[in-house]
């Protein structure tokens, strides 16, 4: 039924939006398409998976978690650890990408950092395959979801958790960018590195900060996606990367709110189209929308915040 | 002059672009709390001079002392945080930010002494409340907007402002960094006479009330001669004269540079 599909669309859209926001933030400050962003998402899922496996596998830790859960009378504390751990892990990866593939590369050739992030993509994917193997790995069903029935609608606690986490993170992201000092500096840097630097903004630091922020967000999206689909694979980054890219273009380059709305829009359209038109048409529809928008409104649905300098 | 080191000292600054020498062995000092104008015909190297002082590009030779300290190797954002603020000949506001936000950008450096404090702020303070410091910063920014008479535009996007107001926002933004010296690149360009008069008054008050040193590049000679305490004249990248406005005005080299010499006619 429609309501159920809309919930699924929101869930898928949340993943797209979280990755797309990162893309668009990085594009904003560096005019760089960060190719490896999808792989950071994938790594987030693996980090989360490893944390869950470790925490359920080692008896002492598992017992401690159980004790805490029964003491607080909640379930799913594991997920918080998985998300928090993945966030730290992918944040570090984001910083490494800056130091290895962005700073040493001469920015005068716009294609050079793009190519180096493609290199990072290949590197991350192969290292992941080496370490974890190339097969699909399933997320242990560590939590028994509680199902809620609202009219015809069934929604379980894990779905609610995913949606709440995604919305909370994106909300704080919006606040950080629009309302805080560092956000102001990020927006200033997006408009002009040179002017921002001459006003005392440490542009190198802002770039690093944005990469870490975007990577943390992608990492969390990865964990949530892994939990939702209950499996992860070293190849899961590519599809999300491509779809999030579509969202960034739909929303308007550098436009955070645009990326968010476009993410949810695309997720919903994809789910509805596979439900009612068959899943074969899903990608066809996605890219048709993209091409149509680019033809008639090249700045995206909500206008671009990026100007050519 | 006073025993203290001058606020800015240029020792033999030379800057070349390929085969073109934009600045050639330029020496001069800027004393504290004065309005010091740099004038010269088009292409004399005035904007290049500003770019070298603010650190947009380095000089081939010579050194730059700020309050007696060598700053040749300091990056632009470091120089800004040390107290060198500037405005641009072609106004460069952050068009997508409001007037208030534009001004607050240059408070950034002063209030983020380290990476750690920035991260700590982002994680612990930003999501919950505006700290006392944030409120204090906003109050100060508003004070500057009021000082310049543009407080009514605080929430307007910079892109939507009238030209004269855009200049004033740039000046407010430079002031927000609490500079010891401000480099103003043709602040009166494109202003009508009453706006220029207002600017004259503002710059005088900045020097007298706030004790800020102003290094001014300007083509409006009435403004320069009425306002400046000291004038340095550049021509083809070389310093050809300096001194009090009246002395410079009657200097034969300066007249020749602006009007050409008899032989050339």
pTM over 0.90: no
- The boundaries of the domain holding residue A250 are 2-142+165-296
| Chain B positions in Cβ-Cβ contact with residue A180 (cut-off 8 Å) | 121-122, 126
CA angle A258, A263, A269 (to 5 degrees): 120
Low-confidence ranges of chain B (pLDDT < 50): 1-2, 113, 127-128, 264-265
A265, A309 Cβ separation under 8 angstroms: no
Inter-chain CB proximity A200 and B106 less than 8 Å: yes
Say if A175 is an interface residue toward chain B (CB within 8 Å). yes
CA angle A186, A27, B128 (to 5 degrees): 35
Return the SS3 of A141.
coil
Say if A193 is an interface residue toward chain B (CB within 8 Å). no
Measured CA to CA, the distance from residue A82 to residue A64 in angstroms comes to: 15
| Chain A positions in Cβ-Cβ contact with residue B122 (cut-off 8 Å) | 176, 180, 182, 209
B105, B173 Cβ separation under 8 angstroms: yes
Among all residues of chain B, which has the CA nearest to that of A185?
B105
Measured CA to CA, the distance from residue A82 to residue A227 in angstroms comes to: 10
pLDDT in tens, chain A (309 residues): 788 889 889 999 999 999 999 999 999 998 888 999 999 999 999 999 999 888 888 888 888 888 887 777 777 788 889 999 999 999 999 999 999 999 998 777 878 888 999 999 999 999 999 999 888 888 876 666 778 888 778 888 888 888 999 999 988 888 888 888 888 899 999 998 989 988 888 899 999 999 999 999 999 999 999 988 888 999 999 999 999 999 999 998 888 889 999 999 999 999 999 988 888 888 888 899 889 988 888 888 887 766 554
pLDDT of residue A58: 83
Among B92, B108, B115, the residue with its CB nearest the CB of A201 is B108
Measured CA to CA, the distance from residue A142 to residue B157 in angstroms comes to: 50
pLDDT of residue B127: 47
Q: Is residue A132 part of a domain?
A: yes
Say if A168 is an interface residue toward chain B (CB within 8 Å). no
Return the SS3 of A200.
coil
The nearest CA of chain A is from the CA of B260 a distance in Å of 36
Domains in chain B, start-ordered, CATH in brackets? 8-259 (3.40.50.300)
Cβ-Cβ contacts under 8 Å between A and B: the total is 96
pLDDT of residue A51: 92
Of B64, B52, B60, nearest in space to B9 by CA = B64
What is the number of structural domains in chain A?
Answer: 1
pLDDT of residue B110: 54
B64, B13 Cβ separation under 8 angstroms: yes
If DSSP states are collapsed to H, E and C, what string results for A222-235? HHHHHHHHCEECCC
Inter-chain CB proximity A199 and B56 less than 8 Å: no
| Chain A positions in Cβ-Cβ contact with residue B174 (cut-off 8 Å) | 199
pLDDT of residue A303: 76
Measured CA to CA, the distance from residue B258 to residue B225 in angstroms comes to: 15
Measured CA to CA, the distance from residue A38 to residue A244 in angstroms comes to: 9
CATH number at residue A212: 1.10.3470
Among A176, A185, A187, the residue with its CB nearest the CB of B126 is A176
Q: What is the pLDDT of residues A110-169, one digit of tens each?
A: 788 889 999 999 999 999 999 998 888 888 766 667 788 887 788 888 888 889 999 999
Q: Is residue A189 part of a domain?
A: yes
Among all residues of chain B, which has the CA nearest to that of A169?
B127
Q: Is residue A307 part of a domain?
A: no
Mutation to test the A interface, candidates B56, B76, B82, most A Cβ within 10 Å: B76
pLDDT of residue A305: 63
Phi first, then psi, for residue A41 (nearest 5°) are -60, -45
Within a 10 A sphere around the Cβ of B160, how many other Cβ atoms?
12
Tokens at residue A18, please?
A: 């979280």
Within a 10 A sphere around the Cβ of A280, how many other Cβ atoms?
9
Q: Is residue A303 part of a domain?
A: no
Say if A209 is an interface residue toward chain B (CB within 8 Å). yes
By DSSP bridging, strand B181-185 and strand B213-217 are parallel
pLDDT of residue B118: 58
pLDDT of residue B265: 42
Q: What is the pLDDT of residues B138-153, one digit of tens each?
A: 889 999 999 999 999 9
Return the SS3 of B85.
strand
Q: Is residue A172 part of a domain?
A: yes
Say if A306 is an interface residue toward chain B (CB within 8 Å). no
Inter-chain CB proximity A180 and B126 less than 8 Å: yes
By DSSP bridging, strand B61-66 and strand B8-17 are antiparallel
Q: Is residue A180 part of a domain?
A: yes
């Amino acid at each position: 039924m429609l309501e159920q599909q809309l919930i699924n669309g929101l869930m898928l859209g949340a993943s797209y939006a979280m990755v797309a926001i990162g893309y668009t933030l990085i594009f904003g400050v560096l005019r760089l398409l960060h190719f490896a962003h999808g792989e950071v998402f994938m790594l987030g899922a693996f980090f989360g998976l490893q944390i869950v496996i470790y925490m359920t596998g080692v008896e002492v830790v598992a017992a401690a978690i159980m004790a805490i859960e029964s003491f607080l009378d909640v379930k799913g504390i594991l997920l918080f650890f998985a998300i928090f751990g993945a966030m730290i892990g992918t944040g570090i990866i984001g910083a490494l990408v800056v130091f290895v593939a962005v700073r040493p590369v001469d920015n005068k050739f716009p294609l050079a950092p793009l190519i180096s992030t493609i290199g990072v993509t290949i590197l991350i994917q192969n290292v992941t395959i080496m370490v974890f193997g190339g097969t699909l790995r399933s997320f242990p069903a560590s939590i028994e979801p509680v199902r809620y029935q609202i009219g015809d609608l069934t929604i379980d606690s894990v779905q609610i958790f995913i949606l709440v986490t995604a919305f909370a993170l994106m909300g704080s992201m919006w606040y950080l960018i629009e309302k805080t000092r560092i956000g102001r500096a990020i927006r200033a840097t997006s408009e002009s590195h040179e002017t921002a630097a001459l006003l005392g903004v440490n542009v190198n630091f802002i770039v690093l900060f944005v990469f870490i922020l975007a990577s943390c967000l992608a990492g969390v999206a990865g964990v949530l996606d892994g939990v939702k689909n209950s499996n992860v694979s070293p190849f899961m980054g590519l599809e999300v990367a491509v779809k999030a890219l579509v969202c960034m273009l739909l929303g308007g380059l550098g436009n955070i709110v645009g990326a968010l709305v476009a993410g949810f829009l695309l997720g919903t359209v994809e789910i509805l189209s596979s439900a009612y038109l068959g899943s074969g048409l899903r990608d066809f529809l996605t890219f048709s929308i993209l091409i149509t928008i680019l033809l008639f409104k090249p700045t995206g649905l909500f206008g671009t915040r990026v100007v050519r300098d | 002059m006073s025993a203290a080191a001058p606020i800015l000292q240029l020792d033999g600054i030379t800057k070349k672009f390929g085969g073109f020498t934009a600045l050639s062995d330029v020496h001069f000092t800027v004393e504290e709390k004065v309005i010091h104008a740099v004038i010269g015909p088009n292409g004399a190297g005035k904007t290049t001079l500003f770019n070298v002082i603010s650190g947009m590009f380095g000089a081939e030779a010579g050194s730059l002392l700020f309050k007696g300290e060598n700053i040749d190797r300091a990056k632009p954002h470091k120089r800004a945080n040390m107290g060198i603020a500037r405005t641009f000949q072609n106004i460069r506001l952050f068009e997508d930010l409001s007037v208030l936000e534009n001004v607050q950008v240059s408070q950034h450096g002063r209030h983020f002494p380290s990476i750690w404090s920035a991260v700590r702020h982002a994680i612990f303070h930003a999501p919950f409340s505006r700290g006392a410091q944030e409120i204090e910063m906003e109050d100060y920014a508003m004070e500057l907007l009021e000082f310049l008479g543009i407080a009514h535009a605080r929430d307007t996007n910079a892109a939507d402002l009238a030209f004269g107001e855009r200049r004033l926002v740039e000046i407010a933004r430079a002031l927000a960094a609490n500079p010891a010296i401000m480099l103003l690149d043709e602040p009166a360009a494109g202003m009508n006479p009453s706006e220029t008069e207002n600017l004259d008054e503002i710059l005088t008050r900045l020097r007298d009330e706030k004790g800020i040193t102003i290094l001014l590049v300007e083509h409006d000679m009435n403004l320069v001669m009425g306002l400046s305490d000291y004038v340095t004249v550049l021509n083809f990248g070389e310093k050809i004269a300096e001194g009090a406005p009246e002395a410079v005005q009657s200097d034969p080299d300066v007249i020749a540079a602006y009007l050409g010499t008899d032989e050339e006619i």
